[in-house]
């Protein structure tokens, strides 16, 4: 089974560019998870490229902000929106699709903001989201994916020394990802590629960062320990344009 995740930075934007259609036709994932859709479902027109997919949207109360979606060729047993905590469920950040052998969760983790004004909230979110994932794991293994808004280790961004006080690489955010790993969940990319450098999924629009590969790896697949041996490949598709992020794909034997 091939799964993909992509922060599209506006689904209408990537559709207008033809980027999402081109990617789906070329990559043909069984399930595609999107973040930062920035649209209500009724605002999105999908062409024939998506005719094989069931589509589920979770949109923020605030229009044009945040939001997630799942496109799947395999019909889920059930679909749930949010994590059941009202404080967290106003921004369309989580969709959970239950399949026969696993849960798939797409997540768009809150950004701590440039001035770190949302870092305290982000810490609460991290604890509640991890508790939600661990609760799902009591029933069956979990795959969660999306823009987690954190580069975990120094290897995961081009300029770690100059970013230690910046959102996405603060010690607090990195410590929360330490807790994810310590809980028995596995960063799929590092499981298969522990020492690969220069593998990034987001680049600033400033200063030609993408052309120079001055980036961050902040988009992930994270899997339950039981699923890790079933991972065949994890691919960061830096060749795919249309957003400031690129897709990440996994092939998993399910």
Active-site position among 53, 103, 147, 235:
147
Residues contacting residue 199 through CB under 8 Å, at least 6 positions apart: 189, 193, 217, 236
Is 56 noted as a catalytic residue in this protein?
no
Is 108 noted as a catalytic residue in this protein?
yes
Give me the sign of the Cα torsion angle 179, 185, 188, 190.
positive
CA–CA separation, 93 vs 35, rounded Å?
8
Q: Rounded to a whole number, what is the distance in angstroms from the first to the last CA of the chain?
A: 7
Active-site position among 56, 108, 132, 200:
108
Contact (Cβ atoms closer than 8 angstroms) between residue 124 and residue 112? no
Contact (Cβ atoms closer than 8 angstroms) between residue 196 and residue 187? no
Residue 2, φ and ψ in degrees, nearest 5: -110, 120
Catalytic residue positions, numbered: 108, 147
């Amino acid at each position: 089974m091939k799964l993909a995740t992509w922060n599209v930075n506006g689904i209408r934007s990537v559709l207008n560019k033809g980027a999402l259609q081109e990617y789906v036709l070329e990559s043909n994932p069984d399930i595609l998870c999107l973040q930062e859709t920035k649209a209500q479902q009724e605002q999105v027109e999908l062409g024939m490229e998506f005719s094989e997919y069931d589509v589920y949207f979770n949109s923020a109360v605030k229009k044009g902000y945040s939001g997630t979606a799942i496109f799947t060729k395999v019909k889920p047993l059930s679909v749930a929106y949010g994590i059941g905590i009202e404080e967290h469920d106003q921004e369309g950040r989580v969709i959970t699709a239950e399949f026969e052998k696993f849960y798939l969760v797409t997540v768009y983790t809150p950004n701590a903001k440039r001035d770190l004004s949302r870092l305290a909230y982000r810490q609460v979110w991290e604890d509640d989201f991890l508790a939600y994932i661990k609760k799902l794991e009591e029933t069956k293994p979990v795959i969660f994916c999306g823009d987690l808004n954190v580069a975990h280790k120094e290897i995961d961004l081009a300029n770690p020394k100059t970013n230690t006080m910046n959102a996405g690489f603060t010690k607090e955010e990195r410590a929360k990802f330490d807790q994810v790993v310590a809980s028995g969940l596995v960063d799929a990319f590092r499981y298969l590629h522990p020492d690969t450098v220069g593998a990034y999924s987001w680049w600033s629009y400033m200063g030609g960062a993408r052309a120079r590969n001055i980036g961050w790896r902040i988009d992930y697949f994270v899997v339950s320990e039981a699923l890790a041996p079933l991972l065949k490949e994890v691919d960061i598709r830096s060749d795919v344009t249309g957003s400031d992020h690129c897709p990440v794909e996994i092939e998993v034997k399910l």
